Amino acid sequence: MAKDTRPEIAIIGGGQLGLMIAEEAHNLGARVAVLDPSADAPAFAAADRHVVGQYDDIKALEKLCDGCDVVTYEFENVPGEVLRHIESRYNIKQGVQPLFDSQDRLREKANARIHGLKTPGFIPVPALDFMTPEDGGESIPGNPEYPVPMTADDAASLDRRERLHQIKEAVRVLGMPCVLKTRTMGYDGHGQYVIREEKDLEPASDLLAVPCILEKFVDFDYEASVVMVSDGEKTIHFPIGRNIHTDGILDLCVVPAPGLSDGLAENVAGKKIAAACEAFMKSCGYKGILAIELFIKGDDFYFNEMAPRPHNSGHYTIEGCSASQYRELCHFLLGMPLEDPLLLAPTVMKNILGKDLDAAKEIVAESLEGAGPGVSVSDPDDVDNAFCGQAGPGVFVHLYGKIQSRPKRKMGHITFTPMTLSDFNVKWADRFV
C-alpha cells in the first residue's frame, strides 16, 4: 500500500469552525486530524482521524499532533502553558502569542492600545488599590489609569461586602454607564453585566469572585468586524461586515457594511478601519487568521475584542466572496499564496440558533419538495441536522450536525446572496421570529 503523502493539518477544537476548516483543507488536498472533548463533535464528521480528549491533556494533544505537518486551533481557551509545550514540539504556524493575548480581556485591551487601536476606557477589578482601609488598602485608587489587579486566588477570597466595595470604587473612577466583564472565558454575552445605575452595583459584584475588567460603555452606532489573514509578508482582509446582535449573540452579518462602503467597495471610513486593523496585526507580529470586532461611533471606532481563528461573522465568505476565510487560512497553513478576496454580491448571513432550527429546516424542505428522483425530503423533520447545501436560488444552508439543540446554541447558519439587509427584512426576517 502506497504511503499517503498528503499534508496533514491538526485542528485543536472540533466545533463548527473546525468542521469548515476541515472541509476546505480537503478541497485543497490535505488530510485533517481533530481533537475535541466531545465524542460527537461536528468536525469529527469531516476528519480523517480524530482524538477525543480534553484541551489540557498533553498526551491527547501529542497523539493529535504526531505526524502532522502543521497545527492550528479553532478554540481560544486552550491553556497557554499547554500550547507552549505543544509549540516546542510541533509546528503551530500561527504561534501561540495571539491566542495568549486574546485569552485575557485585560491583556487584550492593553495590547490593542500599545499597538495603535483605540479602546473604551477600562480598569481591572478587583484591584489592590480598591481594598478598604481596614483591609490595609486605600479608599482612593493610587493609580486611576491602571490599578494593580488582584490574583484569581485573592479575588476568590473576597466576601460580599468586599466585592461590593470593589465595584463601587471602580465605577466611581470610570463612571456610569459601564460594563463589567470576566477577564477570561466569556463569549456571546456570557460573563458580563451592564451597570447603568446604583441598583446594578450589587448584582454586578457577584462576578468579582474572579478577575474582571470594567469598561466604559460605548453608545455605539453599530458593530463591525474585520477578518484578516497574514503570512508575515502579505496581509489580506475580507470585506468588512456590519454585525447585528441579539441578546449578546451575533444574529446577522451584513456585507458590504452600511456606512463603511460605496457599492461593493469600502469607502474612506472603511479603508481607514481596514488599514488600522492590518497595521495592528503587523505591529503585533501576528500571522495566520485574526478577526477584530469593533464599535463604530460616528467617525470613531473602538477595539472591542479579537479572535485568532475563523470568525462567526466571516461565514458569509464561503458563498459571498471569491475566497473564504477557511480557504485563506488553509492556504497559510499549507504554505500556499494568499489570494485577494473579492465580494461577489451584497450578502446577509443569518446565524441559526436552536430556536431558529425548525425555521431553517422548513426552508430546506420547501426547496427540495418535488426536486426530482432521489430527493425524498418534504417535511422539516426529515432534514438532517448536518444538512449543507443550496435551498433555493441564493440561499445556502449550513447545519453543523450538532445532536443536542438548545435555544441559544449555534446550530448552523444561512447565507443569502445576493441579498441586502432591506430585502432580507422584507423576504426572510419573519421566518425567524
Fold of 8-92: Rossmann fold (3.40.50)
Question: Was 372 annotated as part of a binding site?
Answer: no
What is the distance, to the nearest Å, from the Cα of residue 100 to the centroid of all Cα atoms in its chain?
A: 15
The answer to whether 346 and 253 are in contact (CB under 8 A) is no
What pLDDT shows up at residue 366? Answer: 87
Q: Tell me if 374 is assigned to a ligand binding site.
A: no
245 is in an annotated binding site: yes
d(CA 184, CA 410): 21
Kindly list the domain boundaries of the chain, sorted by start residue: 8-92, 121-216, 222-432
pLDDT tens digits for range 285-343 = 999 999 999 999 999 999 999 999 999 999 999 999 999 999 999 999 999 999 999 99
Q: Is 191 labeled as ligand-binding? A: yes
> By C-alpha distance, which of 319, 291, 342 is closest to 419?
319
- Grid cell, residue 231, equals 503570512
Binding residue per annotation — 70?
A: no
Is 189 annotated in some ligand binding site? Answer: yes
- For residue 226, which of 235, 217, 214, 218 has the smallest C-alpha distance? 235
Give the pLDDT confidence of 33-66 residue by residue, as tens digits: 999 999 999 999 999 999 999 999 999 999 999 9
Judge whether 327 and 339 are in contact, CB under 8 Å. Answer: yes
pLDDT at 79: 87
Q: Is 192 annotated as a binding residue?
A: yes
Class of domain 121-216: alpha beta
On whether 59 is known to bind a ligand per the annotation, the reply is no
105 labelled ligand-binding: yes
pLDDT of residue 309: 98
3-state per-residue secondary structure call for 10-54 = EEECCCHHHHHHHHHHHHCCCEEEEEECCCCCHHHHHCCEEEECC
Mean pLDDT of 383-391: 92
Q: In the CATH scheme, what architecture does the domain 222-432 have?
A: 2-Layer Sandwich (3.30)
DSSP state of 223: E
CA distance 399 to 413: 7
223 is in an annotated binding site: yes
Report pLDDT digits (tens) over 312-325.
999 999 999 999 99
Would the annotation count 377 as a binding residue?
no
215: annotated binding-site residue?
A: yes
Residue 374 has pLDDT above 60, yes or no: no
Residue 78 has pLDDT above 50, yes or no: yes
Alpha carbons 353 and 245: distance in angstroms, whole number: 12
- The annotation status of 187 as a binding-site residue, yes or no, is yes
User: How high is the pLDDT of residue 142?
Assistant: 36
User: Three-state secondary structure along 98-118?
Assistant: HHHHHCCHHHHHHHHHHCCCC
pLDDT, tens only, 21-36: 999 999 999 999 999 9
Ordered DSSP codes for 236-297: EEPPPEEEEEETTEEEEEEESPTTSEETTEE-HHHHHHHHHHHHHHHHHT--EEEEEEEEEE
Query: Does residue 431 have a known ligand-binding role?
Result: no
Interatomic CA distance for residues 340 and 72, integer angstroms: 22
pLDDT above 90 covers a percentage of the chain that reads 85
